[in-house]
Amino acid sequence: MATKRPENMTFEETINELETLVVQLENGDLALDDALKKFERGISLARAGQGKLSDAEQRVHILLSNDDSAPLSDFDPNAN
């Protein structure tokens, strides 16, 4: 089965796979090359998960900061 790109995964899928990788790495049974590949995948998953959390935080901030009379605007995930 092909692995999904982290940016195409849900937050929950990202966390589940990351937890699995951590367990595999903590067991210490992997060859160095396999461990490095799993570590790289884990870094990608962690970064994608952090990005998803940042997007959610921005959306919540927008929702809480606008008052009832403020005009609605589209969410821009690339806005800082």
Q: Is this prediction's pTM over 0.75?
A: no
pLDDT of residue 63: 82
pLDDT of residue 1: 45
Q: What angle do CA 71, 73, 63 make, to 5 degrees?
A: 80
Which of the four pLDDT bands, split at 50, 70 and 90, describes residue 67?
low
What whole-number distance in Å separates Cα of residue 9 and Cα of residue 31?
27
Instruction: Transcribe 3-68 into DSSP letters.
Output: PPPGGGS-HHHHHHHHHHHHHHHHHT-S-HHHHHHHHHHHHHHHHHHHHHHHHHHHHHHHHHHS-T
78 has a pLDDT exceeding 80: no
pLDDT digit string, tens, across residues 1-46: 458 898 889 999 999 999 999 999 999 899 999 999 999 999 999 9
pLDDT of residue 69: 67
Q: In Å, how far from its chain's centre is CA 29?
A: 26
